[in-house]
Structure 1
Amino acid sequence: MRISVLLLSGLSLMACSRLEQVGRAPAFTPVEGSNEYYAMTNMPMPETQAPVPGMSQASLWSGERGSLLGDRRAGQAGDILTVVIEINEKAEINNTTGRNRTGSDNVGITGMLGIPQRLNQQLPAGASMGNAYNTSSTSAYQGSGSVARNEKLTLRVAATVTERLPNGVLRIQGSQEVRVNFEVRELLVQGFVRAEDISRQNEITYDKIAGARISYGGRGQITDVQQPRVGQQVADIILPF
């Protein structure tokens, strides 16, 4: 009884929270409180670089990041870089296995110092050592399997360096939300990159991200309709048939 009451209470709360969204567009996830926000607000001050002898602070050829030839690639916590996601993968696997085996045995003793004849007298009627046993066997197996998959995804998202590890590897995390009418599309990416893999355009491709976690989905009315109801999901889990 208590379990039923708790279950009904939980379903009621979930239903109430869903009813609050009726007629409203999905709200964006707040930026405040995210890892990107803390990385940028707590960003350490850039290291001061001694001026090059013979050059003024306004020289275009200085090594500072603000100069014409300065390195503007992300390298510290709070820096922003662009992650280029261009996935175009196709995999096809086709396996066929076949096996066929046939065997037969035929053994008999027609003569051996008169022993078979003496044994035949002791055997039941119709039995003879001339045809002791005769066996045959046949087995066959045929199996086949195939897998065909095609994935294509082209996205670009700005990510923030949230941490610089002691070995120089950068931990990045980025998120992007786009709302069209009553549907929000979410793009999340995180992982670890090497500073030297970042291009001069301050971009890095997804295949250079270690431990990459890329999520592309959405929430809203269309996504909600595509999902089965809560009761149906619970029934699919607990029903044994």
Structure 2
Amino acid sequence: MMRNVAILIAASLALMSCARVADVGKRPDFSETAGTYEHRAMSVIPLPETLTTERPTETASLWSKDRQSLLGDRRAGQMGDIMTVVIEINDKAEISNSTARSRSSGEDMAVSNLMGLDTRFSKKFLEGASLDPAVDLSSSSSSEGDGSVKRKEKLTLRVAATVVEVLQNGVLKIQGSQEVRVNFELRELLVTGYVRPEDITRQNEITYDKIAGARISYGGRGQITDVQQPRYGQQVADIILPF
């Protein structure tokens, strides 16, 4: 049984190694945009429920509510619209706990001279035995604990997101991605979540703290990321070995 497991693990490692060898000397490829959720949202143009004919005088006014007018609302609000997500995370947390406890107790009882009782005790048992002290007890206990947590995170990014769905209550579901390739390293940023139309600023921007169910991922793949990760054999050994 163990032999079959070892053969299976060796074969899996060999296949993964062959797959990585095929990527030697190649730059990481970009993700396909065609067919993604954002691409479908921007490609599908919903038909209007009613057809209305606008008069020329309605489009000529500067106070028109149309998006192309001078004072029109250009904020994202429909499926396929684009907005800017501003990510400025500067969090710092520091927790420190310390506890200490100490206790000591002692009991001492002596019978040095009580109607010759100490002399009789000495003669009956051992020469030189004494009842001073007759009972001597002492105890002590102590415990000490110390713990601390300290972390600091800072991230400043801006990414364009697409409205992929409009819920029945008017909340917008957004999804955005961004990929930047420098030499042999590809950095990717993913943002998803739900926003209220009234939280979008006049600049068509929204901050990350106003996104419900926000999922923000910033990472990458390439030669630098590959070097920072442990080898497949080491990862398998960390899972199998119990020590």
Q: TM-score category by the smaller chain?
A: 0.7 to 0.9
Q: Deviations over 1:152-184 (max 9, x none)?
A: 111000011111111221111111000000000
CA shift for structure 1 position 21? 1.3
Cα pair distance change 1:17/1:39, threshold 3 Å: same
Inter-partner Cα distance in structure 2 for 1:35 and 1:190 = 11
CA shift for structure 1 position 79? 1.1
Cα pair distance change 1:133/1:43, threshold 3 Å: farther
Map of 2:40 onto structure 1? 38
Cα pair distance change 1:185/1:224, threshold 3 Å: same
CA shift for structure 1 position 51? 8.3
1:233 partner amino acid = Q
Map of 1:90 onto structure 2? 92
1:207 partner amino acid = D
Is contact 1:49–1:64 with CA below 8 Å preserved after alignment?
Answer: no
CA shift for structure 1 position 140? 1.6
Inter-partner Cα distance in structure 2 for 1:4 and 1:141 = 47
Bigger Cα displacement from structure 2, 78-87 vs 3-12: 3-12
Percent identical residues: 62
Inter-partner Cα distance in structure 2 for 1:96 and 1:54 = 76
Map of 1:73 onto structure 2? 75
Structure 2 residue aligned with 1:150, among 149, 152, 175? Answer: 152
Tell me whether 1:180 sits opposite 2:187 in the alignment: no
**Runs of 5+ unmatched residues, structure 1:** 111-115
> Match of 1:189, SS?
strand
CA shift for structure 1 position 8? 2.9
For 1:157-196, what aligned pairs fall within 5 Å after superposition? 157-196=159-198
**Runs of 5+ unmatched residues, structure 2:** none
1:192 partner amino acid = Y
Q: Provide TM-score, normalisation by structure 2.
A: 0.83
Tell me whether 1:141 sits opposite 2:143 in the alignment: yes
Inter-partner Cα distance in structure 1 for 2:130 and 2:213 = 75
Inter-partner Cα distance in structure 2 for 1:68 and 1:157 = 26
Number of residues of Structure 1 aligned to a counterpart in Structure 2 = 234
CA shift for structure 1 position 39? 1.4
For 1:216-227, what aligned pairs fall within 5 Å after superposition? 216-227=218-229
C-alpha RMSD over aligned residues: 3.1
Inter-partner Cα distance in structure 1 for 2:45 and 2:133 = 94
